[in-house]
Amino acid sequence: MTQKIKNIFGKLRLPTFLNTRLGLFFTLLILLWAKTIFAYFVEFNLGVENLMQYVILFINPIASSLLILGLALYIRSKKLSYITMMTIYSLLVLLLFSNAVYYREFTDFITINTMLGAGKVASGLGESALRLFRPYDLIYILDIPFFILALATKKIKMQEKPVKARYSLAFSAIAVLVFTGNLNLAESERPGLLTRTFSREYLVKFLGINAFTVYDGVQTYQTNQIKAEASENDLLAVENYVDEHYAAPDESMFGIAEGRNVIYVHLESFQQFLIDYSLVDEEGVAHEVTPFLNSLYTDQSTYSFDNFFHQVNAGKTSDAETLMENSLFGLSQGSLFTQSGSTNTFQAAPDILGQTAGYTSAVFHGNSGNFWNRNETYKSFGYDYFFDENYYDVTDDNSFQYGLHDKPFFEQSAQYLEQLQQPFYTKFLAVSNHYPYSDISSEESGFPRATTDDETINGYFATANYLDTAVEEFFNYLKASGLYDNSIIILYGDHYGISNSRNQDLAELVGETSSSWNNFDNAQMQRVPYMIHIPGETGGYVNHTYSGQVDALPTLMHLLGIDTSNYLMLGQDLFSREREELVAFRNGSFITPEYTSYNGLTYYNENGRIVTSAQTAIQDQLEILQNKVNLQLSISDQINNGDLLRFYSDSGLTPIDTDDYSYLRQVQQMQDITAELGDASTSLLSLNGGESTSDLYDSKTYQDYHPVEVAEETTDSSQVDEAEEPVTE
C-alpha cells in the first residue's frame, strides 16, 4: 500500500522548506488564509462597504489561525507535534468548509447551538444536502489527504528538532497583537460589535469564522450555565408577580377586533415627536413630515397613545419585538434574540394566536434573516413564515446596509400576504428610516433636509417622510384588496431615531433651547407612536395613559377577545381601568404622569424641575415606584435568563418544537396548504378566484408625487451622510 502511494507521488519534487516544522507550519497557515479569503468572496455575502473593511477582512483570518495552529509548535515530540498540527489544520478547514456549505442553504453561519443539533440539520436537509456540494469544494479539502500521505510516505520529512520555545512564544504574541489590532479596527468600524452581536455576518466580517465560533461558544456556555441552575421553583415568584400585577380588560373593549387579521407595521426609529410635526425649510415654508400617519393618528377608527414609551436597550429593534410580542423585557446586556432566541421557550403572540384561535403567522423583513438571529428566534415565537431578503428582489439601487427600502418592501410583500390563510397575524418590519438617514435614492429625494450641525438629524425627516408614504401606499393596497376591512392594523415606533447624544442639536427644532436641554428632555424624547387602527370603529381617540411596549401584548390579546390571565405577561392592558401608570426603562429609570426619574435624577413632569432630597414624602413615594420598577425588570430577567417558561404549563399551550418550522421553501408550503384546503382555503388569493392582487398595488416615487417641487430643487449631492456610527445608534 505505502509502496503504491509512493509510486503515485513518484518523482514529485516538493520544496525542501516543507521538511522543516516551521516550513510546513507557514505553508498550512498561508493555505488556511487563502481558503478563508476565497470563502469570504465566493461563498459569503458579507456586505463589505469600504476599504477599511477590506483591510479587516484580509487580516482577520491570520490572527486566530496563527494562534491556534501555533499550539502545535510548542510540542517537542516530533510525531505528536506533526499530528497535532495536521489535526488542528484539518479541524479549522472543516469549520470553514462546513460554514461555506451551510451558508449555501441557510444564508447563515453555524452556531454552537446548530452544531449541538447537527443531526437535526442534516436530517432536515435530507437528500438536498448533496445538492449543496460543488465541484470546486475539492479546493477546500484536497490538500489534507495530500499532506497526510506525503508525511506518511516521508515525501515530506518530519524534522526531529523542535521549534525553539521563544519562537513559538513570539508567534503567539504576534497573534495576540494582530488580534487586538483587528478588534480595535473592528470596534471603530462597528461600535458595539461584541456587546450587541446583532448579526453573525458582521461578526464574521470583522473577526473571522474562528473567532466568531469561539465567541459564540463562550456565550452559549454562559447562557446555558444560568439555565442549568434554574428550576421550576423559580416560577413561584414570577407567578405571584403576574397575578398581583394582572389588569382585567375593560369590557367595552374586550373582543372588539375578534377574529380579525392582525397587521403590525413596525415604524423603524420613529419617535412620537414626528407626529404632527412640520419641518420649516430655509425659505420658511413648513413641510408636514408624515401627513398620512398624522391623519391616522386622529382618525375615528384609531386608538392612539401619546404617552407611550419604548423600553429597549442594546437589542434595539429585537428588544422592541421581544417587548411587543412577549410582554417581557429584553436583557440588561446584549439581545435576548441573539443570546437565547434559538433555545428559550417563549409564549409569544403568534404562538398564542396560532394555538388558541387558528391564526397563521408571518413576518416580513427585507434584510438578512440572521440579523438579530431572527431566523431562529421567530421559530421559537411560533411564526409559521418569515419572509426575509431571500424572498425579495433586492438590488444595490433599492436597498441599503439594513436591507430593502420600504416602498418596494411593502409592495413586494403583497404576493406573499395574499397567500396566507386568514385570519393571519403579520408583522412588517420597515427599515428605511434607520440611521444614517441618507437619501433613499435620487428619485426619492426632494423632501427638505433640516439644517442643524448634525447631518444625522438633518436627514431624519426625509426618511420619515418616505416611510410615511410607503405606509400610505400599503394602506391603499389593503383597502383595494379588501383585506383592510377585516383587519386590525397596529403601528408602533421601535425606539428613538435620534440618540440622546444628538438631542442638543435637535432642541431648537422641537421648540427648546440646546443650552437648557437636560436628561428630563432626553427622557421625554423616548416616546414612540402606538396606534391601533380598527377599520369600522368610530370611537377612536388619543389616549394619554403612561405606558410602554411591554403593555402591547395584553392590550392586543384583549381586543382580540383572548383571555390573558393564564399567561405570564409583565405588562398591562392599556384600556384596563386597573392599570398603573408606571413605565420602566430597561436601565431602571422610570416615568409616571407626575415624575420622570432618568439616569439618577427625578423631575416633576409639570415643570421639569428636580425633586430634591429634602422633599421626603415624595422621596418615599419615589422609592416605592423604584422598587416596583426593579421588581418588574428582575422578574423579566428571571424568566429570560432561567428560561422559566419551559417549566410553565398553566397556559395550556403545547410547547413549540422549532424543528417543525422551516423558512426555506415557504411559497411551496403555502401552495400545498391552499391545495389541501381546496374550497375551504381562506387566503385572499383563493377568495379572489386564484387571481393575484399584486396589480392593485400602486407605488410611486417622491418625484412622481411632487413633480414641480423636485424640478425646482436641483439635486444636491452633498446630502449623503457618511458620519461614523456612534455606539448608541
Residues lying near Mn ion in the complex (CB under 5 A) are found at 316-317, 494
Q: CB neighbours of 549 closer than 8 A, spacing ≥ 6? A: 308, 309, 310, 311, 312, 320, 323, 324, 492, 528, 530, 571
Read off the C-alpha cell for 48. Answer: 463589505
Distance of closest approach, residue 402 Cβ to ligand GP9, in angstroms: 5
| Residue 273 contacts which entry, ligand GP9, Mn ion, none (Cβ below 5-8 A, type-dependent) | none
Q: Does 379 bind ligand GP9 (CB under 6 A)?
A: no
Q: Does 434 bind ligand GP9 (CB under 6 A)?
A: yes
Distance of closest approach, residue 198 Cβ to ligand GP9, in angstroms: 6
**CA distances (Å), origin 457, targets 168, 281, 284, 524, 729:** 52, 14, 18, 17, 12
Distance of closest approach, residue 268 Cβ to Mn ion, in angstroms: 5
How many C-beta atoms lie closer than 10 Å to residue 17's C-beta?
Answer: 11
How many C-beta atoms lie closer than 10 Å to residue 625's C-beta?
Answer: 19
Among 273, 385, 402, 598, binds ligand GP9 (CB under 6 A): 402
Stretch in the footprint of ligand GP9 (CB under 6 A) among 36-44, 429-437, 451-459, 563-571: 429-437
**CA distances (Å), origin 518, targets 435, 504, 515:** 23, 8, 9
Q: Does 316 bind ligand GP9 (CB under 6 A)?
A: yes
Nearest CA to 89 among 72, 114, 110?
A: 72
Contact 319, 312 (CB under 8 A): yes
Nearest to Mn ion of 254, 461 (CB atom): 461
Q: Does 391 bind ligand GP9 (CB under 6 A)?
A: no
Q: How big is the CA angle at 539 (ends 535 and 544), to the nearest 5 degrees?
A: 110
Q: Does 407 bind ligand GP9 (CB under 6 A)?
A: no
Q: Does 190 bind ligand GP9 (CB under 6 A)?
A: no
How many Å from the N-terminal Cα to the C-terminal Cα in the chain?
63
The amino acid sitting at 540 is G
Distance of closest approach, residue 340 Cβ to Mn ion, in angstroms: 20
Nearest to Mn ion of 320, 353 (CB atom): 320
Among 317, 375, 572, 658, binds ligand GP9 (CB under 6 A): 317
Distance of closest approach, residue 539 Cβ to ligand GP9, in angstroms: 33
Cα 36 to chain centroid, rounded: 26
Q: Does 367 bind ligand GP9 (CB under 6 A)?
A: yes
Q: CB neighbours of 55 closer than 8 A, spacing ≥ 6? A: 185
Contact 331, 637 (CB under 8 A): yes
Nearest to Mn ion of 311, 317 (CB atom): 317
Catalytic residue among 107, 220, 223, 317: 317
Stretch in the footprint of ligand GP9 (CB under 6 A) among 55-63, 426-434, 472-480, 717-725: 426-434
Contact 313, 336 (CB under 8 A): no
Q: Which helix (H) or strand (E) holds 244?
A: helix 235-245
Nearest to Mn ion of 528, 645 (CB atom): 528
Nearest to ligand GP9 of 155, 434 (CB atom): 434
Nearest to Mn ion of 65, 370 (CB atom): 370
Give the whole-angstrom CA distance, residue 434 versus residue 307: 22
Q: Does 431 bind ligand GP9 (CB under 6 A)?
A: yes
Give the whole-angstrom CA distance, residue 547 versus residue 583: 6
Give the whole-angstrom CA distance, residue 140 versus residue 163: 28
| Residue 571 contacts which entry, Mn ion, ligand GP9, none (Cβ below 5-8 A, type-dependent) | none
The 3-state secondary structure of 158-189 reads CCCCCCCHHHHHHHHHHHHHHHHHHHHHHHHH
Closest residue to Mn ion using C-beta atoms? 317
| Residue 471 contacts which entry, Mn ion, ligand GP9, none (Cβ below 5-8 A, type-dependent) | none
Give the whole-angstrom CA distance, residue 657 versus residue 349: 16
Beta-strand ranges (E) seen in 328-479 are 360-364, 385-387, 399-400, 403-404, 424-429
Give the whole-angstrom CA distance, residue 552 versus residue 573: 7
3-state secondary structure of 584: strand
| Residue 371 contacts which entry, ligand GP9, Mn ion, none (Cβ below 5-8 A, type-dependent) | ligand GP9
Nearest to Mn ion of 312, 534 (CB atom): 312
Distance of closest approach, residue 618 Cβ to Mn ion, in angstroms: 36
Distance of closest approach, residue 435 Cβ to ligand GP9, in angstroms: 7
| Residue 367 contacts which entry, Mn ion, ligand GP9, none (Cβ below 5-8 A, type-dependent) | ligand GP9
| Residue 430 contacts which entry, ligand GP9, Mn ion, none (Cβ below 5-8 A, type-dependent) | none
Beta strand 595-598 with 590-591 is antiparallel
Read off the C-alpha cell for 188. Answer: 471603530
Distance of closest approach, residue 310 Cβ to ligand GP9, in angstroms: 11
Nearest to Mn ion of 279, 314 (CB atom): 314
Number of residues written out for the chain: 729
Give the whole-angstrom CA distance, residue 433 versus residue 495: 11
What is the phi/psi pair of residue 69, to 5°? Answer: -65, -30
| Residue 409 contacts which entry, ligand GP9, Mn ion, none (Cβ below 5-8 A, type-dependent) | none
* Count, residues near ligand GP9 per rule CB under 6 A: 9
Q: CB neighbours of 94 closer than 8 A, spacing ≥ 6? A: none
| Residue 467 contacts which entry, ligand GP9, Mn ion, none (Cβ below 5-8 A, type-dependent) | none
Closest residue to ligand GP9 using C-beta atoms? 316
Active site residue 343: no
Among 371, 416, 492, 590, binds ligand GP9 (CB under 6 A): 371
Distance of closest approach, residue 130 Cβ to ligand GP9, in angstroms: 32
Stretch in the footprint of ligand GP9 (CB under 6 A) among 427-435, 538-546, 603-611, 617-625: 427-435
| Residue 423 contacts which entry, Mn ion, ligand GP9, none (Cβ below 5-8 A, type-dependent) | none
What is the phi/psi pair of residue 399, to 5°? Answer: -140, 175
Q: Does 399 bind ligand GP9 (CB under 6 A)?
A: no
Distance of closest approach, residue 529 Cβ to ligand GP9, in angstroms: 16
Active site residues: 317
- Return residues touching ligand GP9 (CB under 6 A): 316-317, 367, 371, 402-403, 429, 431, 434
